[in-house]
Amino acid sequence: MEPTLKPGPGAAAALIMVFFLSTQAVSASYPKAQNITWKSTNFKTILTWEPKPSADYSYTVEYSLVGKDRQRNPHCIRSSRTMCDLSISLTDLNSYYTADVVSEPPLGAKSDLTEFPYSSSPQFCPYKDTDIGRPDFKLQVSEDKKKTILHVIDPLTALFKDGRQLNIRDIFTDQLQYKVFYRKNKSTGKKEYTSKTNRIELTGLDRGESYCFNVQAFIPSRSFDKQLGELSHTQCSNNEDKSIFKVYSVGVIAAGIFLILLVIGLFIAVTVICYKRRQEALKSGKEGMPLRDV
């Protein structure tokens, strides 16, 4: 009976090394994602990363509440894209989330690996970290021109409830305020006013002056770098009672008056000259007529 050969310690180590190297070689064909970043405005939350994958591998996104089981977004499984929209997946707005971007074989391909390389994102809290976009507003000047009213329109979010699209006040409720920055038209001096409501009345403005306004959301409960939203476009009030002395300079007004007087003077002079010539013509005509016989 022939003796059974058993691998020695050296052979076992060699097998382990071969397995390790082969595993490393396979893993090397699935590069890890880099520069994973959360980009979120009005709760439209996109996870982005680099680089774009080759045809040999793809990306899968797994997300979870911190310390909880991971889940997969069905639109971000073995994808060739470098972004994943997680807006409707992050339902607990006040909690912190993390996401893993896993490098896997392309859709339909197989691999002997049981675990694939991945990279993790920073933590993200929708309520605290999403940026607030620029609001829109309408201007209204009172009939007596003593106050200006701004009607601010809350920006819409990417979130829905019972079939209705939510705006930022639906989410931040009484935490949401608005800052108004205003100045006289063509002036650099700027004043600031903070309101807790969407209807903002500004009084004490100079009557007959045109003012320009900007609005931005303000959430004081957030961290300092996330308190202010994006600044709105500038809107200026019309000035129907503006004095001519504020529209034109003194020199322009004086030149206009001189031109008007000059035109009037020329008109009078031409009228007088025409009248005199007519009178002379009539007189000359009478003197040249023959005397009537008696």
| Residue 18 is assigned to a structural domain of this protein | no
In a shared domain, residues 173 and 232: yes
CA–CA separation, 254 vs 269, rounded Å?
22
Structurally, the chain folds into a number of domains equal to: 2
In a shared domain, residues 38 and 113: yes
Domain encompassing residue 209: 136-243
In a shared domain, residues 99 and 160: no
58 in Cβ contact with 80 (< 8 Å): yes
- Identify the CA nearest to 136 among candidates 36, 16, 234: 234
| Residue 121 is assigned to a structural domain of this protein | yes
In a shared domain, residues 145 and 123: no
pLDDT string in tens for the chain (294-residue length): 445 545 555 555 544 444 444 444 444 578 999 999 999 999 999 999 999 999 999 999 999 999 899 999 999 999 999 999 999 999 999 999 999 999 999 988 888 888 899 999 999 999 999 999 999 999 998 887 778 999 999 999 999 999 999 999 999 999 999 999 999 988 878 899 999 999 999 998 888 889 999 999 999 999 999 999 999 999 998 865 445 454 456 677 777 787 888 888 888 888 888 877 777 777 776 555 555 554
In a shared domain, residues 117 and 146: no
Which amino acid belongs to residue 276? Answer: K
Element spanning 48, H or E: strand 44-50
| Residue 143 is assigned to a structural domain of this protein | yes
- Identify the CA nearest to 239 among candidates 270, 212, 201: 212
Structure token pair of residue 24: 């490393």
CATH code for the domain in which residue 214 is found: 2.60.40.10
The answer for residues whose C-beta is within 8 angstroms of residue 290's C-beta and 6 or more apart is: none
State residue 266's pLDDT score: 83
Could you write out the DSSP letters of every residue in 53-95? Answer: --TT-EEEEEEEETTS--EE-GGGSSBS-SEEE-TTT---TTS
| Residue 286 is assigned to a structural domain of this protein | no
The answer for residues whose C-beta is within 8 angstroms of residue 40's C-beta and 6 or more apart is: 46, 124, 126, 129, 130, 131
Residue indicated by tokens 């504020």: 246
Instruction: Please classify residue 258 by burial: count the beta carbons closer than 10 Å to its beta carbon, then call 0-12 exposed, 13-18 middle and 19+ buried.
Output: exposed
Cβ contacts of 255-261, under 8 Å, gap ≥ 24: none
The answer for residues whose C-beta is within 8 angstroms of residue 171's C-beta and 6 or more apart is: 43, 93, 127, 157, 159
